[in-house]
Structure 1
């Protein structure tokens, strides 16, 4: 017999509608959503012996998606410490725990954006084979960077396994992209400009249009997507002209860049949580050269993001988790930042659910509707009136991935079980 779960009295945020649905009924059979709609006693009776969750008005919404994380980094003041001291094997162990931390706060899918030792591909495999518990992983493997670019941070005589593979010229880009795909990458990450943690100006263009076009071509052959780290104006536009699907950061985005995002049907991942570097970094030990660059980025980042939002650019949740003081398990802070910069609470949730799934070409998740995979979370309270609820771990009552209960808040679960005798753990 198939396993059926029924959720009644749910305050439903389905991830795609512009309004929530009170007193909703949701039926899940095995890993798929079978029914979503108004309460109907006949439907419940027809399901027979099902596990029933009376949510008593709590919020049921899709599992959230963070489209930009680094599992090999843990929010240290200087990310070089993990790069230098952690072997890939040790980084993988840490990375698996960091992925689990995100799952436990309601993020059922993560996209990695450059990892040492291809640890994300190994973690993904271990999760899919049931060896460990974790979110869905959309893995990048190593990012593609030019010599001396963002991702090539160490002298050649020092053999450090970093997050990037060095490429110069279209042929090397093609080879490196093919290598990531061969090893199991789900998408290709590129460095279109400099950045905060690497030497040199963060705004300078790095990979060329022609180089990025080659990576896009190789990814598209296998139905894969591409993303580009892009801080500076020219690099943002170069990536878009090359056909890159997601722009990461987009700090010095101008009007032409906004129009390209719209014309190319591309997505902007603003990674506002990365500015925790400034909030905590000066007292916490972040190198001064890094702080100065991030301070410069902040002069333009939010203003340009607000202009992009007003223009109708598709904004997607991504945190850059792992960068200084930007810890895994705090992923929902990004939604608060998006609301502060012009998104409604509903649109912020969509940016972390349906829109994020669309950006990653994951058509089976991101919304609570019939036929979708049942990645869902139960939240005590209403995030549409207070988006910061999603940051309170104790308010994330249940996390379901593929219809399976993968995490529960024990105190709240015991209370629900006491009130709802038909709940079966």
Structure 2
């Protein structure tokens, strides 16, 4: 038994002075704990749950023009993914949800981590995005047109073992020729995708910037809206009424618009600048409507690197969330979205995914930066 001694535990249930005892990959006690076989003194520090990033792309490395990855092999992308896993976990991220990669790359990465062949966070993955022919992200997605093809594409990902089914409901910033907010998959196609996923009890996620595509996804029963850039009051209220989660990925737009002249394609910069102007109000609408917000970054997109994932919490606070609300979004809410009932709290019988921080993250979102220790499934990895 390993014991974290003399620290302050902080999670969505609040802060309290407590020791934390770990056996194998599980928290077995929180409170007054006797001596352990090994101990770490965390006096004056805070023990929090590891971060959960609900939206990453393991095969991407933050380069200015993601489309150049089309010229590389799956082997190249595998090495990038392995490096990203290490960077993420050392930054305090203990679960990631990959929402689009070539073939089975992200699914295989999850197996490699689970089997101890790679060090990294637990990986949940969608396999390939389902996208209309020539649509946003088509070069690493599964192209499908019409409800029957979309249903088949979703079932192919389920056969591979997908933890979530992801689709592109609208165009996007980084695909040349795509219109950011324009609907791509139809309501009927989205409905077929949700129906296919429901047969296996698997959640769904939809990339959706524009209002029409967002509402189509909500009406079809999609579990989470990714980005939601042009969300207005009507869209937010529809999401809240439908129990649809929002994964804002503030880092994605921010890291584009703040890096002009860096090699990001001109079309992407123009679209991102327009989108960023609308994005801030999305937080106001979501908060007013009571939409459930789960943390996600779109890590791998331009200048949006895996070792900087914790920046997202500070960005959410910049957009009006409290540090405490950001903590919840990155732990318990993200865990609920991902269907994880053993993650996101520092509590008995929970998975020992923990970070040791010098500051209180419920009071200061910057406290997530540079954890002094990270435990992933009970193993100290940083």
When normalised by structure 1's length, the TM-score is 0.87
- Look up the match of 1:413: none
* Alpha-carbon distance in structure 2 between the residues aligned to 1:69 and 1:26: 30
How much does 1:167 deviate? 0.5
**Conserved 8 A contact 1:276-1:325:** no
Question: Within the alignment, does 1:20 sit opposite 2:19 as a pair?
Answer: no
Select which of 355, 372, 378 maps to 1:397. 372
Gaps of 5+ in 1: 153-161, 409-425
Higher Rg of the two aligned structures: 1
**Match 2:83 to one of 82, 94, 97:** 97
* Higher mean C-alpha displacement, 175-184 vs 272-281: 272-281
Query: How do residues 270-419 of structure 1 correspond to structure 2 at under 5 angstroms?
Result: 270-391=248-369, 393=370, 396-405=371-380, 407-408=381-382
Residues 66-105 of structure 1: matches in 2 within 5 Å? 66-84=53-71, 86-105=72-91
Unaligned runs of at least 5 residues, structure 2 = none
Once residues 80 and 104 of structure 2 are traced to their aligned partners in structure 1, the CA distance between those partners, rounded to angstroms, is 13
Cα RMSD after superposing both structures: 1.4
Secondary structure of the structure 1 residue equivalent to 2:300: coil
Report if aligned partners of 1:276, 1:324 keep a CA contact under 8 Å in 2.
no
What pairs with 1:183-332 in structure 2 (closer than 5 Å)?
A: 183-198=160-175, 199-332=177-310
Q: Distance in 1 between matches of 2:29 and 2:319?
A: 35
What corresponds to 2:130 in structure 1? 144
* Aligned with residue 120 of structure 2, among 113, 117, 134: 134
The answer on 1:172 being equivalent to 2:158 is: no
CA deviations 1:355-405 (Å, max 9, x no partner) are 1000111111111112111111111222334322323x3xx1111122221
Indicate conservation of the 8 Å contact 2:4/2:20, yes or no.
Answer: yes
- Maintained 8 Å contact 2:99/2:129: yes
TM-score by length of 2: 0.96
Whether the 8 Å CA contact 1:375–1:401 is kept in 2: the answer is yes
Q: Distance in 1 between matches of 2:27 and 2:115?
A: 23
Contact 1:192 1:235 in 2 (8 A): yes
Which whole-Å CA distance do the structure 2 matches of 1:355 and 1:207 have between them?
A: 27
Aligned length: 381
2:86 pairs with 1:111: no
1:99-134 deviation per Cα after TM superposition (whole angstroms, max 9, x unaligned): 110000000000011112321011111111211111
- 1:33 is matched with 27
